[in-house]
């Protein structure tokens, strides 16, 4: 009896334990299947599914004639997905297998191996090892079937001309976003729209199927106004001038004044967008397009604006004379000087021989308000609107903010306000176009989406009276024919231009006697301009006058470009041979 009761009690206890076990198991199943279902489903999906972006193919950048300046080629990131059985030894064995497959240029360093191991140890599931490896190189690794090694499509941006137009084209980041130049300003056009894919993975996270959720939209091609051949001519000649003069920097821009199209834009030293930038200093140098970013005082090229104001006033005649015999004129205690005593000069000769003293006499009568107004009309103090990132424009102070009663005198000869090389070329184009302002253009066409082009229907703006512009054009022609611009003369073409030499202003030290900027700006043929051009040589070490360092570069490039464009020459026009005496005149 006692034994039966004991057995019954044991059965009840066992039954209760089984019931309790079943209840707990049921509660756990309810917890997993109901209460925590969404959470665990998400975990499983994360382990077995991965949604990734698909980078679109970036649009190609062409020159005006369809030559490729920037393009994207197939490439892949090589990555590592953490495995459950990873150890330091197993990871090293995998890295060594990859080293045996990769060429030296893409070999995995010990630092990269250490980076991957640290991420594995810290619990990261994914680590990129090599970025933008050419497709054929990545395939060598893929075909080996090394566990954990994964690949991501990431087209590589290539600039086949290397440094040619490097500052203009700019660069992109590793994730395909524009960082500078055309790549940045037209990033929305070139970049396209990213797609999305669903990657299905097995238990050890090896991809076995890829489902396209949203196909990528490729970027659109962009055609620039740049001519690769002209860009090449300019790059070679500017490199020569840079080396010969020992300059810090040099800049050259060529445009078609009748359309505003930029045919060449070169800065020296150059930059290669293919080169990986090592630090912020290199990045800043690569992104610094001096033609549109560097603002400085230009000196005598600004006399174009001063004489435009004088001619617009109607108060002067070309043969009106001024006594510049002293070669020096004091304003308070500070003198403005000429490079030599030039004697009695006519209004025209003051411009032709670039007399600073004579220009101040003209400025006396023009007045500070008219000088300032003309500078503003010429487009200084505002951006040109060329459409490139990083363009600068320094504010020109109005007369009421000028310090010193004689500032107008320095203002009239190109001191006291700063501008970019592109802004000075814009002023010159106004003269070439008989007083009309035609905006600059750097993009010629976007065939697949012309609506993204700048508005070309905007009316051109008249800045100068046509007669004033024609008189300035004649003066600039005489500068080259018999004045300071004689070294810019061409065989078979009459050029028009203006020399400029400015002392550099050094912050905290004032104007330097040793550091200068020499420049020349002009257009050719003078009667019906086909090209306009500015050459800027920053801080040349030996010669420094614009006529010596910049005008010869203008001449050489103009002759080459006009021959390339097959512009008919006048056989009766011959270049003047400079003698020792005449060289002293051309400053």
* Chain segment 484-502, per-residue pLDDT in tens: 999 999 999 999 999 999 9
How far apart, in whole angstroms, are the C-alpha atoms of residue 252 and residue 551? 12
Question: Is residue 137 in a domain?
Answer: yes
205 assigned to some structural domain: no
Mean pLDDT for the stretch of residues 441-460:
83
For range 536-544, the mean pLDDT: 93
Q: What b/e readout covers 194-225, taking b as 16+ CB neighbours within 10 angstroms?
A: ebebebebeeebeeeeeeeeeebebbbbbbbb
Output the pLDDT for position 54.
74
Each residue's pLDDT tens digit, 358-385: 999 999 999 999 999 999 999 999 999 9
Note the pLDDT of residue 210: 65
On whether both 219 and 253 belong to a single domain, the answer is no
pLDDT at 522 over 80: yes
What does 540-567 look like in DSSP terms, one character per residue? -SS---HHHHTHHHHHHHHHHHHHHTTP
In terms of average pLDDT, the best of 39-48, 101-110, 329-338 is: 329-338
Helices (H), 328-420: 347-352, 356-366, 368-377, 407-412
One domain, residues 218 and 241? no
Q: What is the pLDDT of residues 288-309, one digit of tens each?
A: 899 999 999 999 999 999 999 9
225-266: per-residue pLDDT in tens? 999 999 999 999 999 999 999 999 999 999 999 999 999 999
Express as a percent the part of the chain with pLDDT over 70. 89
Cα separation, 355 vs 353, in Å, equals 6
- pLDDT above 90 as % of the chain: 59
Predicted confidence at residue 413, as pLDDT, reads 96
The answer on pLDDT for 587 being more than 70 is no
Q: Are residues 216 and 250 in the same domain?
A: no
At 496 the pLDDT is 97
pLDDT band of residue 582 (cuts 50, 70, 90) is very low
The answer to whether residues 426 and 545 belong to one domain is yes
Angle at 330 between CA 327 and CA 336, to 5 degrees: 55
Asked if residue 170 is part of any domain, the answer here is yes
Q: What is the pLDDT of residue 315?
A: 92
CATH of the domain at 435: 3.40.710.10
Q: Confidence band (pLDDT; 50, 70, 90) for 201? A: low
State whether 503 and 367 are in the same domain: yes
Same domain membership, residue 162 and residue 102:
no
Are 245 and 218 members of one domain? no
117-136 CB burial, b ≥16 within 10 A, e <16 = bebbeeeeeebbbbebbeee
- What's the CA gap between 227 and 110, in Å, rounded? 45
In this structure, of 34-43, 243-252, 552-561, the range with the lowest mean pLDDT score is 34-43
Please tell me the predicted confidence (pLDDT) of residue 122. 84
Mean per-residue pLDDT for 317-341? 93
C-alpha distances in Å from residue 203, one per residue of 83, 116, 117, 145, 163: 10, 21, 21, 16, 48
**Average pLDDT, stretch 424-447?**
96
218 and 233 together in one domain: no
The whole-model pTM stands at 0.86
Residue 163, domain CATH: 3.90.1310.10
pLDDT score of 458 more than 50? yes
Lowest-confidence range among 170-174, 275-279, 402-406?
275-279
From CA 431, how far away is CA 455, in angstroms rounded? 23
- Residues spanned by the domain of 426: 228-585
Give CA–CA dist 495/489, Å, rounded.
Answer: 6
Q: 227 near 63, Cβ under 8 Å?
A: yes
For residues 271 and 166, membership in a common domain is answered with no
The mean of the pLDDT values for the chain is 88
Which residue did the predictor score with more confidence, 40 or 287? 287
* pLDDT in the model for residue 147: 85
Look at residue 38 and tell me if it is in a domain: no
State whether 175 and 292 are in the same domain. no
Convert the pLDDT of each residue in 503-513 to its tens digit: 998 888 888 88
pLDDT, average across residues 108-119 = 88
Domain assignment present for residue 465? The answer is yes
Residue 15 covered by a domain: no
Higher pLDDT, 20 or 50: 20
CB atoms within 10 A of CB 9: 10
Name residue, tokens 């510049």. 324
* Number of domains the chain contains: 3
Residue 583: pLDDT band with limits 50, 70, 90: very low
Q: Which residues are CB-contacts of 566 (< 8 A; sequence separation ≥ 6)? A: none
Same domain? 302 vs 406: yes
* 256 and 114 co-located in one domain: no
Q: What are the structure tokens assigned to 241, written together?
A: 């001038």
Residue 526 has pLDDT above 70, yes or no: yes
In contact, 372 and 407? CB cutoff 8 Å = no
Query: Where do the DSSP E strands lie in 457-509?
Result: 461-462, 496-506
Residue 25, domain member (yes or no): no
Is 9 inside a domain boundary?
Answer: no
Contact (CB, 8 A) for 407 and 415: no
* Residues 39-65, mean pLDDT to the nearest whole number: 73
pLDDT (0 to 100) of residue 113: 86
Which strands sit side by side in the sheet containing 49-54, from one edge to the other?
49-54, 195-201, 207-214
Least confident of 111-125, 200-214, 267-281, 427-441: 200-214
């Amino acid at each position: 009896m006692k034994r039966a009761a004991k057995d019954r009690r044991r059965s009840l206890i066992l039954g209760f334990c089984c019931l309790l076990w079943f209840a707990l198991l049921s509660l756990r199943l309810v917890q997993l299947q109901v209460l925590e279902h969404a959470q665990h489903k998400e975990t499983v999906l994360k382990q077995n599914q991965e949604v990734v972006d698909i980078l679109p193919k970036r649009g190609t950048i062409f020159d005006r004639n369809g030559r490729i300046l920037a393009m994207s080629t197939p490439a892949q990131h090589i990555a590592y997905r953490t495995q459950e059985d990873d150890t330091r030894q197993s990871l090293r064995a995998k890295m060594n297998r990859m080293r045996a497959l990769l060429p030296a240029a893409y070999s995995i360093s010990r630092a990269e191996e250490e980076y991957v191991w640290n991420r594995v140890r810290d619990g990261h599931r994914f680590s990129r090892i090599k970025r933008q490896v050419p497709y054929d190189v990545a395939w060598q690794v893929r075909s080996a079937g090394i566990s954990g090694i994964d690949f991501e499509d990431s087209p590589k941006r290539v600039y086949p001309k290397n440094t040619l137009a490097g500052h203009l084209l700019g660069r992109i980041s590793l994730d395909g976003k524009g960082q500078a130049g055309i790549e940045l300003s037209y990033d929305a056009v070139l970049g396209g729209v990213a797609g999305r894919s669903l990657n299905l993975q097995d238990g050890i996270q090896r991809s076995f199927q890829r489902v396209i959720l949203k196909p990528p939209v490729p970027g659109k091609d962009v055609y620039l106004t740049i001519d690769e051949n002209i860009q090449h001519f300019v790059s070679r000649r500017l490199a020569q001038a840079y080396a010969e003069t020992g300059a810090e920097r040099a800049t050259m821009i060529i445009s078609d004044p009748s359309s505003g199209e930029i045919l060449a834009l070169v800065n020296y030293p150059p930059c290669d967008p293919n080169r990986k930038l090592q630090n912020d200093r290199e990045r800043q140098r690569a992104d610094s397009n001096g033609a549109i970013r560097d603002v400085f005082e230009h000196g005598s090229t600004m006399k174009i604006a001063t004489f435009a104001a004088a001619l617009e006033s109607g108060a002067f005649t070309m043969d009106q004379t001024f006594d510049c015999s002293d070669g020096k004129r004091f304003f308070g205690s500070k003198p403005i000087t000429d490079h030599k005593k030039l004697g009695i000069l006519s209004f025209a000769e003051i411009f032709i021989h670039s007399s600073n003293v004579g220009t101040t006499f003209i400025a006396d009568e023009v007045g500070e308000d008219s000088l300032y107004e003309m500078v503003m009309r010429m487009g200084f103090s505002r951006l040109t609107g060329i459409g490139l990132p990083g363009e600068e424009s320094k504010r020109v102070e109005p007369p009421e903010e000028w310090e010193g009663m004689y500032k107008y005198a320095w203002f009239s000869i190109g001191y006291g306000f700063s501008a970019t090389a592109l802004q000075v070329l814009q002023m010159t184009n106004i003269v070439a176009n008989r007083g009309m302002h035609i905006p600059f253009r750097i993009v010629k066409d976007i065939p697949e989406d012309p609506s993204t082009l700048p508005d070309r229907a905007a009316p051109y703006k008249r800045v100068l009276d046509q007669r004033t512009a024609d008189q300035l054009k004649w003066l600039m022609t005489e500068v080259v024919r018999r004045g300071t611009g004689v070294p810019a003369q061409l065989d078979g073409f009459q050029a028009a231009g203006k020399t400029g030499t400015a002392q550099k202003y050094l912050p905290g030290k004032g104007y330097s006697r040793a550091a200068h900027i020499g420049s020349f700006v002009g257009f050719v043929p003078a009667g019906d301009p086909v090209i306009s051009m500015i050459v800027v040589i920053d801080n040349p070490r030996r010669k420094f006058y614009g006529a010596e360092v910049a005008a010869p570069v203008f001449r050489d490039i103009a002759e080459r470009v006009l021959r390339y464009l097959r512009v008919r020459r006048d056989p009766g026009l011959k270049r003047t041979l400079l003698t020792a005496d005449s060289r002293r005149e051309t400053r």
